Amino acid sequence: MNLLGPDRLTKPTQLVAKASSKRARVVAVTFLLDGRPLGSDTTAPHSLDVDPALLPAGNHRLEVEAVDSMGGRTRTKPATVTVAPSGSRIVEASPGRTFSQARKALERGDVTVLLAPGRYEVDELQLGSGARLVGSGPRTVLHPRTGAHYWALVVARGRNIRISDLTIDGGGPLRGGSDDGIAVAVFDGSRDVRLQRLHITRVRTDGVNTWGAHADVSVQDSRIESRGTADAGVVALGSDASRDTSVIRTRVRGFTSFGILLQQQKYGHPAADLHGVVLDNLVSDIRDPRRDGCWTAAKSRTRGCGTNEGGIWTGGVEAAVIGNTVVRARWDGIETVGSSTRTTIVENEIRNTRTGIYLEHSTNDSVIAHNLIVDTEAGIQVEWRYDGVGSSRNTFVGNRIVDAKAAGLIVDTGGDRNRIVRNEFVGGARPAIALYGSSENVVRDNVGCGGTRGVVVGMESARFDDGSAAHSRNNRVVGNRSVASC
């Protein structure tokens, strides 16, 4: 990996890195100044636009870290760069008249606006192509008029848009509830939109929502919070015309439906919502009070069980879900939906959920590797085949599943031709690996240890959705063992 660019920054500049991996596709490149992220790029050729007028002057260490789809990380040696701005044009604004003028400039685009600390009342603050909206840190606050309804506080509509270094206060729920209230909306057709170092708080519905034919929309190094009433932290409504959506190093907490939702739910589409990246985020406390019945004896009479309360959901092709921590997402930690093909779910930590990782039917040729899953009902579950669609040819390798009460890894009816290799099941139920009407799998060198003794692998017949019998056939089960301790 090589870092290209000037060693002296005097005007807005593109930093460029050439990155490759021998074993997998590079999914993200992060540029770091003195060890802190300046920003990340998920599309090749990997680059980052920087304005030295918004950086501290003087000499600094510049490094680049690349992450590939299997979680491999490589970092360059530090290079010295001097920040000495001289050619930047920035519009400075503060609450009142100057902000009113800045609003018009942002809507026209091709401008950088720097907001002073203070509170700014907004409703659909529009950013056109080339607009940069930069705050002075957390004390720069965008907020709605007290008690007002709004569709979105900030709207990015165009290309090459940046929003950074400020707080967006959604105002919290209104009395009687409301179906509106997005903090940042990224409009259909927008491209190259980066949201960085934002604190989005008291969200009403969604923290960030993007839809339509969007591309290269990224949320980075931010905090997105609700007090248990809003729907989701980040929602990307994907399609065949969307790609390269990413959420990186962001904390999402306190939503009812989803922490991060890359929502593409059509099946069998070969390039739908291509190359989504969910990297190094912390998602916690995803709970829907309307679904409390799902956790009682009356759950069969509660509608919607399992359709939300998820930490991270992804439904696009060749997505990479790497290095995230999910805690207390009540239904599942990570779930694949839609056209999840050649997806990698690697080196995540998931705790205190019903299911750690759930693969919906139509998840194929994907890799689930080196994840730590603790205190769940099921550690990993592959959904049963229905409507003629199952999940096949997936690889489960090197996962560590601790205290799974129902089973460590469940492959349900018609989930065939998978590789389940070198996983470790600590405590929890036995058999640790349960094949229900699943055939032609390779199940090799898995270990069950600690707690309950018993067989590591179990196979049972089951039924397809049409009622016909599904028998486990032609599975290669070799070298699996139960030991006293890990």
pLDDT, average across residues 313-319: 96
pLDDT at 177 (0 to 100): 67
Cα 47–Cα 53–Cα 57 angle in degrees, nearest 5: 100
Q: For the chain, how big is the Rg over CA atoms in Å?
A: 24
Rounded to the nearest 5 percent, the helix, strand and coil shares of the chain are 5, 50, 45
User: To the nearest whole number, what is the mean pLDDT of the chain?
Assistant: 94
Considering the chain, what percentage of its residues have pLDDT values greater than 70? 98
pLDDT at 299 (0 to 100): 56
Model confidence pLDDT, tens digit, residues 357-391: 999 988 999 999 999 999 999 999 999 888 778 89
- What is the pTM (predicted TM-score) of this model? 0.96
> How far is residue 472's CA from residue 474's CA, in Å, rounded to a whole number?
7
CATH code of the region 197-483: 2.160.20.10
Model confidence pLDDT, tens digit, residues 6-61: 889 999 999 999 988 888 999 999 999 999 999 999 999 999 999 999 999 999 99
pLDDT at 390 (0 to 100): 83
Q: Is 402 helix (H, G, I), strand (E, B) or coil?
A: strand
pLDDT at 236 (0 to 100): 97
> How far is residue 228's CA from residue 441's CA, in Å, rounded to a whole number?
41
First to last CA, the chain: 37
Q: Is the pLDDT of residue 112 over 70?
A: yes
> How far is residue 48's CA from residue 134's CA, in Å, rounded to a whole number?
16
Q: Is 113 left (phi over 0), alpha (psi -120 to 50) or beta?
A: beta
Do 457 and 479 form a contact (C-beta atoms < 8 A)? no
Q: How confident is the model at residue 301 (pLDDT cuts 50, 70, 90)?
A: low
2-83 CATH choice from 2.40.128.50, 3.40.30.10, 2.60.40.10, 3.40.228.10: 2.60.40.10
pLDDT, average across residues 116-132: 98
Cα 218–Cα 222–Cα 224 angle in degrees, nearest 5: 100
Structure tokens belonging to residue 430: 């036995």
Exposure of 317 by Cβ count < 10 A (0-12 exposed, 13-18 middle, 19+ buried)? buried
HSE-up of residue 405 (Cα within 13 Å, Cβ side)? 7
Q: Is the pLDDT of residue 352 over 60?
A: yes
Structure tokens belonging to residue 92: 């400075």
> How far is residue 365's CA from residue 318's CA, in Å, rounded to a whole number?
10
Return the bridge partners of 235, or none. 209, 261
Residue with tokens 């920054």: 9
> How far is residue 196's CA from residue 307's CA, in Å, rounded to a whole number?
30
Ranges of each domain in the chain: 2-83, 90-196, 197-483
Residue 89 has φ and ψ, to the nearest 5°, of: -115, 115
pLDDT at 469 (0 to 100): 87
> How far is residue 331's CA from residue 220's CA, in Å, rounded to a whole number?
25
Model confidence pLDDT, tens digit, residues 249-300: 999 999 999 999 998 878 888 888 999 999 999 999 999 999 998 877 555 5
Considering the chain, what percentage of its residues have pLDDT values greater than 90? 82
Q: Is 318 helix (H, G, I), strand (E, B) or coil?
A: coil
Model confidence pLDDT, tens digit, residues 77-106: 999 999 998 878 899 999 998 999 999 999
Q: Is the pLDDT of residue 464 over 90?
A: no
- The beta strand positions in 226-371, using DSSP E, are 232-237, 246-248, 251-253, 258-263, 277-279, 282-286, 310-314, 320-322, 325-329, 332-336, 344-346, 349-351, 355-359, 367-369
Model confidence pLDDT, tens digit, residues 404-425: 999 999 999 988 999 999 999 9
pLDDT at 149 (0 to 100): 94
